Amino acid sequence: MFDKLVRKEAKIALVGLGYVGLPLALAFARRLSVIGYDINEKRLAKMRQGIDPCGELEGSAFEGTDIEFTSSLDKLREASFFIVAVPTPIDAHNQPDLSPLVSATHRVAQVLKKGDYVVYESTVYPGCTEEDCLPILENVSGLKGGTDFKFGYSPERINPGEKVHTLPNTIKIVSGCDREALDVVSQVYELVVNPGVHRAPNIKVAEAAKIIENTQRDVNIALMNELSIIFSRIGINTYDVLEAAGTKWNFLKFYPGLVGGHCIGVDPYYLVHKASELKYHCQIISGGRYINDSMGGYIAKKLIKKLIALGKNILGARVLIMGITFKENVADIRNSKVVDIIRELMDYGVDIDITDPYADSEEVQRHYGFRLTEKPRDTYDAIVVAVAHEVYTSLDESYFEKMTYGNAVLVDLKGLYRDRIHTLKYWSL
C-alpha cells in the first residue's frame, strides 16, 4: 500500500477538512495524490480557491499540492487509504456525541474495498475505534477488518493558533490492528512528520494517550482555578503566588482561566463516560471538570459583587466583554466559556457589549444568539478582558478609563495588566 501511495498508483483521502483534516490533507498532498472530502460545500468552495475556512493556513499552504476537494462519494471511492478527522463533541448533557464520527464511518464503509486502510484521528475514548467504528465498517462494507481491510488510530495533535508545535515538527502517535498495519500507517505518517512517529502497542493505548493529554491539562488548570478562588478570599493575587512558586525548578506552570474549545473542555468527558461504563466514578477528573465548567458563573458573580460594592445599579449596568473566542489569537468560538460569563450577567439584567478582533459577528450570532458590538461606548461600569489576544497586551489604563463611566471595574482574567492599573477597581483570577 505504501509504495502504491508514493507512486501515486493509489490515493489517500482525508474525511473531514476542519482544523485537523485540512492541514493534514495539504501536507500529504505535497507527496501523494489526495482526495479532500467534506460534506460542507460552502467550505469546499473556499478551499478550491486556496482559502482556509478556519483562518489558520495561508494561501501558500495550498500551492504545489495534488489535491481534489469534493463531497462526492463516487470520488471518495477512488481512495485506498482513508483518514477520518471529524469532530467528536459532547452533547448538552456532557455525553460523547459520536454522530459525526458514525456518519463519516458510514460514508467510508460505503466505498471500502479489499486491501484498503482506514485510520481514525478523531479524539475518542479507549475502545471506540474497535467497538464502535469497526462494526460499522464491517457491516456496511461486508468486509472483515484485519483480513479484507486494515485499520488503525493516530490521534491528532493540532493546536489552533500554534506556530511552534505544528504538524510537521510534532511526534505522531500511530497504531494499527496488526503488525502489517502498524508498519504501513507508520510509513505513511512519516512522510509528513519530521520527528517521526511513536508506535503504540495497540489501538486502545493510542486512544488513551490522546485522551489523557488534555485531561492532564484540564485537571491542572482546575487546581489553579480552585487556588484562585481561595486566594481571592485571602486577598492576594494568584499570579503573584504562581510567580513566586514558579522559582522552584519542578513547579509546573499552569494558570487559572476559562477552559473552552473543542479539546481540553471536551475530551475528559469521553474518559469519564468510558469509566462510567466500567462502573468506576472518576473523582479527580469529574471534579476538575466541575470546577472549570463553573468558572464563568463564578467570574460573573464576582463582578456583580464588585459593582454592588461600588454602589452601582446592577439592572442596566453596562459591561464591555473584550474577547469571545475560546483562546487567544484564533477565530474559533466553539465551546467558548466566555459565553457563560455573558449569559450569567444577562440573567442579572446587565447591558452587555462584546468585541473581539478575531471573531466573526455572524458566526457568534449563529452559535450563541448575540452579535458583536461594532463600536464600544464610553460609559461602561465594568470592562472584562476575557481573552489574552496579542492586540490587548499593549493597552494601558488610560485606554480603559476613556470607555468607563465614573468609578468602574476592570476584570483582567489572564493577568495582563497586573501592577499597571491604579485608578480603576482591578480584579483578576
Instruction: Give catalytic residue positions.
Output: 263
CB 333 within 8 A of CB 326: yes
Which residue is listed with cell 497586573?
418
Number of other CB atoms surrounding residue 243 within 10 Å: 13
Strand pairing class (150-153; 172-176)? antiparallel
332: cell is: 474559533
163: cell is: 506556530
288: cell is: 476538575
Partnered with residue 34 across adjacent β-strands are 12, 67
Between CA 402 and CA 380 the distance in angstroms is 9
CB 382 within 8 A of CB 319: yes
Between CA 365 and CA 128 the distance in angstroms is 34
197: cell is: 512517529
SS3 of 15, please? strand
Cβ partners under 8 Å of residue 273, min gap 6: 95, 96, 125
